[in-house]
Structure 1
């Protein structure tokens, strides 16, 4: 887990909820770590997709707003595994807000505040074209 730890997920999602969301066996007493890892991987790849081209990846250190974004996206992914129940409004709203935050980071409206993080240069060359100079030194000398 690159952007968040298992403890970060444990702070956002109660243990009993993690057990219910990650296991297909209703009698399970422990969360299914491989399912949780899949959810975290999915969320991290989504975050990287928004940051790619603006920041050099992987980020080190990881800003707390990205850690929280991965936690919220993972929580939504885990809830979506259960199609029989409706997603809580808080889960839907946090995903929508997180995607809006990632769009703002991508567009440069919000910065990550990384001390060493700089925007990645855009690939390709830059070409400019301009009209010929109308007022050169000779013309200005006549005034």
Structure 2
């Protein structure tokens, strides 16, 4: 699911602009392949910023996010010919997304990710079978997450033992 659609781009920036940016063959119509690639690229960039805080894809799409997605997709459509105004809109969208990623800005939805499974790491006990009579698994000592008892004994990877 994308954060903006072809119609969103037309509504915000005009059909004529979308034709001029996508119609490389000169037939006078929007090339949906070109437009959809820009929309997909915008989605990928947005997901890169929001993936750490939200369960993706975000649905329904908040208007704040749709607006930024349109600005990013439009910037991609301009390629190397973006004007200063369009580049500024893109930079502002990225700045906004960085703020959302850091928790300074909001897109109007809860940042909790209820659909995201909890990430757990196996505790050191998983290596207990590698222990010898002289060497105990690190979890028996401190409960850390270092899986290799030799690394644990040598203090590698920052165990506080």
Q: Same fold (TM over 0.5)?
A: yes
Alpha-carbon distance in structure 2 between the residues aligned to 1:108 and 1:122: 20
Deviations 1:60-90 (A, max 9, x none): 221111101110001000011xx4xx42221
TM-score w.r.t. the length of structure 1 is 0.75
Find the residue that maps to 1:17 and give its secondary structure. Answer: helix
Among 101, 105, 113, the residue aligned to 1:110: 105
Specify which structure has the bigger relative contact order, considering alpha-carbon pairs within 8 angstroms and separated by 6 or more residues.
Answer: 1
Deviations 1:75-106 (A, max 9, x none): 000011xx4xx422210100000000000000
Is 2:38–2:76's contact at 8 Å kept on the other side of the alignment? yes
What residue in structure 1 maps to residue 57 of structure 2?
58
| Residue range with higher mean Cα deviation, 100-109 or 62-71 | 62-71
Alpha-carbon distance in structure 2 between the residues aligned to 1:53 and 1:121: 13
Is 1:51–1:106's contact at 8 Å kept on the other side of the alignment? yes
What residue in structure 2 maps to residue 9 of structure 1?
9
Runs of 4+ residues over 2 Å off in structure 1 = 119-125
Alpha-carbon distance in structure 2 between the residues aligned to 1:65 and 1:99: 13
What residue in structure 2 maps to residue 39 of structure 1?
38
Cα drift, residue 124 of structure 1: 4.6
Is 2:5–2:39's contact at 8 Å kept on the other side of the alignment? no
Alpha-carbon distance in structure 2 between the residues aligned to 1:100 and 1:50: 10
Gap runs ≥5 in structure 1: 128-143
Alpha-carbon distance in structure 1 between the residues aligned to 2:95 and 2:40: 20
Is 1:19–1:28's contact at 8 Å kept on the other side of the alignment? no
- Relative to its length, the structure with more helix (as a share) is 2
